[in-house]
């Protein structure tokens, strides 16, 4: 009997290590770019959501509710197959980065909004009374304090973001998951493939998850 983990399958896998190295690099690239995008969007929309004005609040709600309540797969599928019907043909890496970045931007916006709202109202008043404008008060007074509160959930989002870049496998994105699906289904050596790919994802996410724990501990100590 030939088991899913037969020795020759492992050998074939390691002989084709370049396939997985390329996928790993693509996943790394897509993860870092979409994390940057998600942070920028998250900060902007999180700040909008924490204001006391109706219009920016409404913008925040529309973005967050729409993105959080539709599956990432559909959003990415829309970017990949929907936009071309409107004449916009984004490269597949851009589709992955935009899709995952916008998706996690919504979650990060909620994290940041909660973080900002956890900062006492008097901080904003003190800053305003000293002549800061709203943006300056946010930048120098509120956000640095909120950062301490939001760092653990933010790192947690980063972990999820890395895992969710695997959605690119659905749109032939060339990422680690795509290479794994492609190679394993071609050779049927799915056993070793998903073990190795799982370990590669683990090697990205585990250090971050540990960072989360460390940050949480630190936040507890300083609180």
The residue among 11 and 62 lying less far from another protein, judged by its C-beta, is 11
Q: How far is the CB of 175 from another protein (least distance, A)?
A: 12
For residue 134, count CB atoms less than 10 angstroms from its CB and return exposed for 0-12, middle for 13-18, buried for 19 or more: middle
The residue among 62 and 82 lying less far from another protein, judged by its C-beta, is 82
Task: List interacting residues with another protein (CB under 8 A).
Answer: 1-6, 8, 72-73, 77, 80-85, 89, 120, 122-123, 125-133, 136, 140-141, 144-145, 148, 163-164, 166-167, 169-172, 177-178, 181-182, 185-188, 190-191, 194-195, 198
Phi/psi-derived region of residue 89, left when phi > 0, alpha when psi is between -120 and 50, beta in every other case: beta
Phi/psi-derived region of residue 131, left when phi > 0, alpha when psi is between -120 and 50, beta in every other case: left
Tokens encoding 42: 């998250």
Q: How far is the CB of 208 from another protein (least distance, A)?
A: 17
Rounded CA separation 9/128 (Å): 66
The residue among 54 and 85 lying less far from another protein, judged by its C-beta, is 85
The residue among 45 and 174 lying less far from another protein, judged by its C-beta, is 174
């Amino acid at each position: 009997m030939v088991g899913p983990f037969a020795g020759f399958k492992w050998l074939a896998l390691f002989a084709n290590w370049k396939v997985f190295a390329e996928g790993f690099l693509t996943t790394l690239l897509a993860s870092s770019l979409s994390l940057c995008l998600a942070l920028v969007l998250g900060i902007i929309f999180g700040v909008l959501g924490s204001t006391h004005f109706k219009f920016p609040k409404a913008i925040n709600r529309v973005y967050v509710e729409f993105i959080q309540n539709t599956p990432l797969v559909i959003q990415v599928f829309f970017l990949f197959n929907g936009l071309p019907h409107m004449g916009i043909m984004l490269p597949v890496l851009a589709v992955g980065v935009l899709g995952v970045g916008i998706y996690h931007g919504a979650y990060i916006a909620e994290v940041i909004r909660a973080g900002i709202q956890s900062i006492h109202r008097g901080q904003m008043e003190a800053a305003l009374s000293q002549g800061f404008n709203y943006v300056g008060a946010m930048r120098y007074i509120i956000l640095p304090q909120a950062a301490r509160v939001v760092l653990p959930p933010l790192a947690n989002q980063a972990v999820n973001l890395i895992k969710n870049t695997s959605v690119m496998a659905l749109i032939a994105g060339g990422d680690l998951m795509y290479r794994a699906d492609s190679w394993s289904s071609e050779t049927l050596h799915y056993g070793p493939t998903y073990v190795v790919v799982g370990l590669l994802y683990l090697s990205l996410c585990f250090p971050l998850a540990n960072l989360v724990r460390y940050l949480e501990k630190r936040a507890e100590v300083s609180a």
